[in-house]
Structure 1
């Protein structure tokens, strides 16, 4: 069972689990059945209170009679008289507050309207910028009133279990909306927008209550990873330009101008605001691959290091400051396929690992009490949502969801328990190309599939999540798929064929250790070839099929290693510094060395250079050269062949959805296509689970 199950409707409102909230000058306390307005405290009937809660959840939009029946009467048929009586009682209870109006929408339902907050002063930058584009933001402000006190009550209850108590999509148009970031008041969401999966992105704003999006940035650069300042007036984000320049930018929202904050070297620099004057990013230092966290002064641009990862870790990324600004959570990648979430105490400098078993940890968000973290992990099989109390590291509990098509790889939370997540249906194309670039075969899957390599008979070994976890699969030329591994670790990757096409070798991560495994193509005779746990990648049989070569990383040092089923692992002569490795159909070993974009071959223990490949390009070997794909080329990706002793040759265009090349045993190359046609955003609300443990 994976996360791509059907979305279930929200359950009936349970007043005992509803946090207090405020509408205009009236405080509403659902568990106590009380509202306190200008004329004092009034008690409501339970059904009337449920109607008020449901209308408040509507965030100023019309709530249909059917929705009220679902939320307030448990889906039972409700007479018009019963609903009308509740509305009349509610209007009477709210009559003393002039800032609240309960409107009837003919033939539809009802709407709770709340007076707008005071507008910005005339002459301020916000008031002067693009009034037509900010009208939807003003409308959202007028109908959405929440309190931090409500959030504190909700999170302070520390229930045994959590579940999704409400879900609704925020977007539905066919495009790609990623890197969501909720504003501090929960009323707006900023995100990266693109028309196509490989297109340049712009930062857009959208009201959580609904309405049309408004662009914050536009232009030829690739803008993504927005992060709100604590006052909600500015957004920090990353910008990549066509020449490979990375910059951390700051923009005044919605269209108040932008400026450069700092240069960066990695797309993992995703910013977060430590305070109104400090932005935290993850970045590498010159000449090093390992990323650490830096605090950058937004006034002077001065940077100081916040973390120092262990020498053998890949680095630190994805910083998230707690709501009380006292802690900083981040992801520390130990090796490919193994992560941990670490919390840094910003006063003492002490670090504590929240997870220590090595399972992948992707997106994560803080609860409003700054004591709990919700994070995405594959520790239970498919990626799901988990929580951990920062005072009890290592004690993680799964959150009950009942949601489908939900990715928690990137998410954002507001102070009221709302979380915005990405919604997608993964779809992949595994394409065999001839030496001229013409399509000779294509397999389309309703899953995410990658690391695809072709065997001698045309079968494809690849990684797929179609079974709920990232496992090795083999798909034969007729499209029949066989599962080779079943969750033997937190991650499996980089499959490669034996010369006879009967075995597959790959890397599996178990705990904090990565080792080389092999199995027959039907999944039998699983064998572990190494047992040292060092970071490994890209295994490949040699031409004889007797040895397996692979890349090993120790800190900043890379080298080629070899192992046989009967022997111990040992360094390969001439393999010092190799950071990538691929084998052609004829058994020629190609790769790149650290600090060099040149692709070369290992011939008789000596390095033989072939040609450079840019970091943004993908390459795969052939017997007489390498294929090169530029997925970022405009107007569409470009495919090239680099022969020995000659210039690149342009081949047939691979199509707009091509993103990666892999080796083929037969003449030609394997192309991976990203066929997902849309990524949307959804809003979920967490609450205590009933009748279940964590």
Structure 2
């Protein structure tokens, strides 16, 4: 007995843990695998440690404190880190009904094997329509009480507005969803009893709108169409939900559906944008982000759902990328929105719903993925990468103040929604992309891996690889030579770094970085020395390229719109004539420079005198990854059934498919070497769940 107790208390070293059977499968800790008769899956090391610790107990509960000691070497970790592991294990074992990972209130967790006799007594699942009816029965009492509670909430909100703001703390966290795939865009009902969300299979796949109770985990599917539907938001009275429908090749639609049931109807359409996020004001207007015309800057607009009329709410400067993602206070008198100065540079603003009285809440340019007003309407909660990871932060909207980080860490937070009683529903995401390489006709093989994301690759003429990775926190420039391990070149602690590109001689890398609301071009040598900033005006910039003379060309946003600027070796900047509207420039090596303009799918050749359409004309699909070469333009294009096809459009205009890559969750990046080596970023994991965080005043 003493030997067993000693074994159970021993910290977990996966390399020395023997395999063990679990349910219908076999767990192999050393290889991080769970193997079933019909397949297998890999677990993260920490998740596997938690599974081994629970299995050691042989059905007995294991406390949170013991799990921390066994799996985190005694370090004190936030409860969210443990919950994340439990959620992942439950997802893995959804395929095996014999394995249950249960929560023991106020104690911890237990791994339980369901006896076969109990399984055979289980009642078959009812048909889908019957399941929906049962789910609606469970939600009906909440829905009937919603209108009364919403009215009461107005009175509570008025009382809260009279209180002085106080510091908030995140006191508890628990998952609200745990289905495979993604559950995103959470929207809490005004009374906090229900929440709507968009759910689907993952990267690039269609989503539908679902509804479920905060306390009752039974989901109800509100939409079931072939289109991608997302971004739900509740009406102030809690009786309707508005959401966005993506329409292939056209601007998005805004729909409203009654709750608990009824047909959704289109109440408006975006003028230009394919996607937007919504907010519902007290006066009945639906707020969204859109451009009134092509070439205009995105702004917050208000839609009257009864008439379909639109009005502008904000007027961002023409040198910004515009305003997005409006959120309304519980009192309904003000909105928060995000103003993007450049790629990776965001600041949060507040204004009256009319658009008057705009002022900045943050001024440092760090990203802000999601945000919501706390119950007092004087605190804005938001997710930001200002500490490296996307943690949870707050800022006082009544007076100038520095953002403060709340007490939760380790999880990556995204979009969020809050009720008037201290509950916050927030996305917790796990998205990873790795780099894969191949030659035409061969299967892609991984170049990078692990619990990280790598993207934006570029190959030198000698086959050296540079790319962006978040391996050590924020985005930084990395390099990988043919046989060596990846090496980090920069440590800028910037809000965003992108477009690393090799110089023609393979000695230097130029890239763009957004720091403190300023976006500039940098150059660093391949050995990591000689980092220098070659521009200093902080203007918004797009993807850059080197010309054959060792100069840098980069699209830049000025008062007159986007144009290409040429940067010489001394940092001198000159505008390329007749280059208005160019957003992306790419090099074809000795074949010259090619560009794509805003709102224009034609490929342009960039010459010293300006831009000239490619001849014959080649069109670029903005949903594809593409790269020009001396032979023509390679494209990675999604095809029917989720497959991705590598094709080549030659400079004579002939198009041919080079190969199918199968199901390849593609990020928009493709690099091609002169030897026709291909490298692309592939999404290898895309999961998101909705978590509930209880906020308390300190």
TM-score, scaled to structure 2:
0.76
Structure 1 residue 604 displacement after superposition: 6.1
The 5 Å alignment of 1:439-458 reads 439=444, 442-458=447-463
Partner of 2:346: 339
Partner of 1:665: 673
Question: Taking structure 1 as reference, are residues 142 and 467 closer, same or farther at Cα in structure 2, changes over 3 Å only?
Answer: farther
Question: Taking structure 1 as reference, are residues 192 and 599 closer, same or farther at Cα in structure 2, changes over 3 Å only?
Answer: same
1:278 partnered with 2:285: yes
Instruction: Tell me how far apart the structure 1 counterparts of residues 492 and 137 of structure 2 sit (CA, whole Å).
Output: 50
CA contact (8 A) 1:151 1:416 kept: no
CA contact (8 A) 1:507 1:517 kept: yes
1:616 partnered with 2:630: no
Q: 1:312 aligns with which of 305, 310, 319?
A: 319
Instruction: Tell me how far apart the structure 1 counterparts of residues 141 and 527 of structure 2 sit (CA, whole Å).
Output: 59
The 5 Å alignment of 1:558-577 reads 558-573=562-577, 575-577=579-581
Partner of 2:506: 501
Q: 1:391 aligns with which of 395, 398, 401?
A: 398
Question: Taking structure 1 as reference, are residues 65 and 654 closer, same or farther at Cα in structure 2, changes over 3 Å only?
Answer: closer
CA contact (8 A) 1:584 1:663 kept: no
The 5 Å alignment of 1:457-476 reads 457-476=462-481
- For residues 189-227 of structure 1, what are the alpha-carbon distances to aligned partners after superposition, in whole Å with 9 as ceiling and x for unaligned? 211111232111111112211332111111111101111
Question: Taking structure 1 as reference, are residues 136 and 475 closer, same or farther at Cα in structure 2, changes over 3 Å only?
Answer: farther
CA contact (8 A) 1:130 1:255 kept: no
CA contact (8 A) 2:285 2:305 kept: yes
Structure 1 residue 7 displacement after superposition: 6.3
For residue 138 of structure 1, give the secondary structure of its aligned residue in structure 2.
Answer: helix
Instruction: Tell me how far apart the structure 2 counterparts of residues 348 and 292 of structure 1 sit (CA, whole Å).
Output: 11
Structure 1 residue 307 displacement after superposition: 0.9
1:420 partnered with 2:425: yes
- Aligned-pair RMSD on alpha carbons? 3.1
Structure 1 residue 353 displacement after superposition: 0.9
Question: Taking structure 1 as reference, are residues 268 and 243 closer, same or farther at Cα in structure 2, changes over 3 Å only?
Answer: closer
Question: Taking structure 1 as reference, are residues 635 and 378 closer, same or farther at Cα in structure 2, changes over 3 Å only?
Answer: closer
CA contact (8 A) 1:155 1:367 kept: no
Partner of 1:261: 267
CA contact (8 A) 2:173 2:691 kept: yes
For residue 178 of structure 2, give the secondary structure of its aligned residue in structure 1.
Answer: coil
Q: 2:606 aligns with which of 602, 607, 610?
A: 602
Instruction: Tell me how far apart the structure 1 counterparts of residues 382 and 447 of structure 2 sit (CA, whole Å).
Output: 36
- For residues 239-272 of structure 1, what are the alpha-carbon distances to aligned partners after superposition, in whole Å with 9 as ceiling and x for unaligned? 1123434111111124311100111121452111
Instruction: Tell me how far apart the structure 2 counterparts of residues 256 and 387 of structure 1 sit (CA, whole Å).
Output: 38
Partner of 2:184: 178
Instruction: Tell me how far apart the structure 2 counterparts of residues 389 and 142 of structure 1 sit (CA, whole Å).
Output: 35
Partner of 1:552: 556
Q: Which has the higher contact order (CA 8 A, sep 6+)?
A: 1
Partner of 2:220: 214
Structure 1 residue 499 displacement after superposition: 2.0
Partner of 1:8: 78
Partner of 1:686: 695
Structure 1 residue 137 displacement after superposition: 1.4
- For residues 4-42 of structure 1, what are the alpha-carbon distances to aligned partners after superposition, in whole Å with 9 as ceiling and x for unaligned? 99963389xxxxxxxxxxxxxxxxxxxxxxxxxxxxxxx
Instruction: Tell me how far apart the structure 1 counterparts of residues 164 and 460 of structure 2 sit (CA, whole Å).
Output: 53
For residue 659 of structure 2, give the secondary structure of its aligned residue in structure 1.
Answer: coil
* Structure 2: segments with no counterpart, 5+ residues: 1-46, 48-71, 82-101, 109-130
Instruction: Tell me how far apart the structure 1 counterparts of residues 104 and 221 of structure 2 sit (CA, whole Å).
Output: 35
Partner of 2:234: 228
Structure 1 residue 515 displacement after superposition: 1.0
Question: Taking structure 1 as reference, are residues 158 and 491 closer, same or farther at Cα in structure 2, changes over 3 Å only?
Answer: farther
Question: Taking structure 1 as reference, are residues 300 and 650 closer, same or farther at Cα in structure 2, changes over 3 Å only?
Answer: same
Structure 1 residue 158 displacement after superposition: 6.0
Structure 1 residue 562 displacement after superposition: 1.3
CA contact (8 A) 1:328 1:345 kept: yes
- For residues 117-146 of structure 1, what are the alpha-carbon distances to aligned partners after superposition, in whole Å with 9 as ceiling and x for unaligned? xxxxxxxxxxxx974341231366699999
Instruction: Tell me how far apart the structure 2 counterparts of residues 338 and 595 of structure 1 sit (CA, whole Å).
Output: 22
When the two structures are aligned, how many residues end up with a matched partner?
575
| The structure with more helix, counted as a fraction of residues | 2
Structure 1 residue 151 displacement after superposition: 8.0
* Structure 1: segments with no counterpart, 5+ residues: 12-63, 71-128, 690-694
Instruction: Tell me how far apart the structure 2 counterparts of residues 541 and 347 of structure 1 sit (CA, whole Å).
Output: 46
Structure 1 residue 313 displacement after superposition: 1.4
Instruction: Tell me how far apart the structure 1 counterparts of residues 80 and 656 of structure 2 sit (CA, whole Å).
Output: 57
Partner of 1:322: 329
Q: 1:238 aligns with which of 241, 244, 261?
A: 244
Instruction: Tell me how far apart the structure 1 counterparts of residues 574 and 191 of structure 2 sit (CA, whole Å).
Output: 57
For residue 132 of structure 1, give the secondary structure of its aligned residue in structure 2.
Answer: helix
Structure 1 residue 320 displacement after superposition: 0.4
